[in-house]
A and B are shown apart, each in its own frame.
Chain A
């Protein structure tokens, strides 16, 4: 049972444009959501997070939006840069000390 889903396995965006990565979840008990960036043969690197009490969190070029009623979150990267090319995972957890549930990942390719 995949509780966190990323329905787009891949995304290609031109440099300078906006990248939008989507994530859906089914477990209404999730109260904290995170986005991680991952390169091959490396561990995930934390990007940005959002608590369920908020609907938007912004950090530089990265913005995460949360729609609790739709159980949907998205990561916006603007402007996209070639160095952003990686696999992006969304993750969710309940509480601050519990395990993370990851989505299946979206491979972002930023082209010149």
Chain B
């Protein structure tokens, strides 16, 4: 079964709206979660590393004021796309690694399809 849950799976909203995406680890505590973005027919690109209790680490070129990340608990990280515009339309995916099995691969959520009209 899924060990990383992402919600919502799809969002369609008007330009200028802020959208929040949740990523939950279901049966483990994750001090670190990762947020990726995938444009059509392109690779998954890491946007930021979400750290529980501290600031997220953003990849080069990703605007931290645009993509707000909050990791307030050991099982939940949220990504808020602020004042979203059509160019922010993409597939957003989170992942986390179970610290009990650090040598095992990361678990991915099922992603959120964001469409800005």
A: which residues have CB within 8 A of B? Answer: 2, 4, 9, 34, 36, 41-46, 49, 89, 96-97, 99-105
Q: How many residues of B sit at the interface, in one of the four size bands? A: 20 to 34
Task: Report the minimal beta-carbon distance from A51 to chain B, rounded to whole angstroms.
Answer: 9
Interface hit among B11-19, B39-47, B75-83:
B39-47
Q: Is the CB of A89 within 8 A of B34?
A: no
B7, CB-defined interface residue at 8 Å: no
Looking at A46, A99, A103, A104, the one whose CB has the most chain B CB atoms below 10 A away is A99
> Which A residue sits closest to B99, measured CB to CB?
A97
Question: In the complex, what residues of B have CB within 8 A of residue A97's CB?
Answer: 32, 97, 102
Cβ contacts under 8 Å, A99 to chain B = 34, 46, 49
18 intermolecular pairs with C-beta atoms under 8 Å apart = A34-B105, A36-B108, A41-B111, A43-B108, A43-B110, A44-B44, A45-B108, A46-B106, A46-B107, A89-B44, A97-B97, A99-B49, A102-B36, A102-B43, A102-B44, A102-B45, A104-B42, A105-B43
- Our pick among B43, B95, B105, B107 for the contact of A104 (Cβ within 8 Å) is B43
| B20 part of interface (Cβ distance < 8 Å) | no
- Nearest-CB residue, chain B, relative to A41: B113
Beyond contacts A43-B108, A104-B43: 20 other A-B pairs, Cβ-Cβ < 8 A, are A2-B43, A41-B91, A41-B110, A41-B113, A42-B110, A43-B6, A43-B95, A44-B108, A46-B105, A89-B44, A96-B102, A96-B103, A97-B32, A97-B102, A99-B34, A100-B34, A100-B95, A101-B46, A103-B43, A104-B42
Which residues of B from 87 to 117 have beta carbons under 8 Å from A?
91, 93, 95, 97, 102-103, 105-111, 113
CA distance A82 to B110 in the complex (A): 22
